[in-house]
């Protein structure tokens, strides 16, 4: 397993983020806040990543959603939303993505993600399952869920 | 301008959807419901599209969100969520995407969309503007908004 680190918001990290395809409003907002001294250099970010030497080669963002906003699990509970899981092209198929997801699971909370469609084999191997689609809730999303209880059940039956 | 049609859910439409990149849980769910007779053949869908001859070459999905769920506009109001706007590769740069967005605007409601990052020039030309990023609300999204009032203001000042 690779070492997963919480990423700090600084100019080096934000420069490394530009190599990832899913660079968007979130990253631009962090850059603006850093430039405007609204956040301090080396603040904690919602991102976790894996370095190969000095280079960030994989990352994901995690955010704990309060159970009062939970629309996915029953009964309602706190869960982690996971997004922007991405491994740089030259580093794929070496277990970086798996290491990040395994790290997310160590928080012992259910996890929801909305992956790109082509990654469904990966998520299935990670134990994530598709929800029953609900247009009002899901709109253009393809939500996948994992929960610690379901993981326990399936390893007991295996 | 191209003729925009509301798409009916039937096997022909669902087969045409497979040519689009953003084919996911929503389409699979419609197929299952049709196969299970849970919905009737030729039911209305949330999709609108443009045909070139007999072939569906562009589509989008629209859903009216009730103002009590509005987290984007102030004061809270009913708005349209627009997703899966997509034009088949051989038909791009011929105004199909623009025709769909112009059609969505005719409902005279504000519109929110979460486009793929590389399409930001297109959305800017369509008059959509980025929100101020809010992690709790937006997570991995890059929300863009358009509203009829803002469109009126900017044409008055032009």
CB–CB contacts below 8 A, A to B: 66
Domain boundaries, chain A: 5-157
For tokens 């704990």, what's the residue?
A: A64
Q: Is B46 on the interface with A (CB under 8 A)?
A: yes
Instruction: Please tell me the distance in Å from B151's CA to the nearest CA on chain A.
Output: 22
**Contact (CB, 8 A) for A110 and A65:** no
Q: Is B71 on the interface with A (CB under 8 A)?
A: no
Taking 60 as the threshold, does the pLDDT of residue B11 lie above it?
Answer: yes
As a whole number of angstroms, the distance between CA B11 and CA B31 comes to: 8
Q: Which of A133, A29, A145 is nearest to A80 (CA)?
A: A145
Query: What confidence score (pLDDT) does residue A60 get?
Result: 98
Contacts of A104 (CB under 8 A, 6+ apart): A48, A60, A62, A80, A82, A111
| Whether A81 and B139 lie within 8 Å, measured CB to CB | yes
Sheet holding B5-9, edge to edge: B5-9, B43-52, B55-65, B79-87, B111-113, B144-146, B129-130
**Contact (CB, 8 A) for B141 and B113:** no
Instruction: Please tell me the distance in Å from A150's CA to the nearest CA on chain B.
Output: 21
Instruction: Please tell me the distance in Å from B158's CA to the nearest CA on chain A.
Output: 28
Architecture of domain A5-157: 3-Layer(aba) Sandwich (3.40)
Chain B hits for A46, CB-CB cut-off 8 Å, are: 135
ipTM > 0.85 (yes/no): yes
**Contact (CB, 8 A) for B47 and A140:** no
Q: Model confidence at A153, in pLDDT bands (50, 70, 90)?
A: low
Mean pLDDT in residue range A59-72: 97
| A28-39 exposure pattern, b = at least 16 Cβ within 10 A, e = fewer | ebbbeebeeeeb
What sections of chain A are H helices per DSSP? 11-17, 25-35, 96-105, 120-125, 135-138, 148-157
> For the whole prediction, is pTM greater than 0.80?
yes
Q: Model confidence at A155, in pLDDT bands (50, 70, 90)?
A: low
């Amino acid at each position: 397993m690779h070492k997963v680190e919480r990423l700090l918001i600084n100019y080096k990290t934000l420069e490394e983020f530009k190599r990832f395809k899913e660079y968007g409003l979130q990253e631009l907002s962090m850059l603006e806040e850093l430039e405007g001294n609204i956040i301090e250099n080396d603040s904690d970010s919602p991102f976790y990543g894996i370095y190969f030497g000095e280079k960030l080669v994989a990352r994901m963002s995690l955010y704990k959603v309060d159970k009062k906003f939970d629309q996915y699990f029953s009964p309602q509970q706190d869960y982690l939303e996971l997004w922007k899981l991405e491994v740089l092209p030259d580093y794929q198929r070496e277990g970086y993505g798996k290491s990040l997801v395994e790290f997310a699971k160590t928080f012992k909370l259910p996890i929801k993600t909305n992956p790109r469609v082509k990654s469904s084999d990966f998520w299935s191997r990670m134990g994530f399952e598709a929800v029953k689609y609900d247009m009002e809730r899901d709109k253009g999303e393809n939500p996948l869920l994992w929960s610690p209880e379901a993981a326990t059940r399936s390893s007991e039956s295996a």
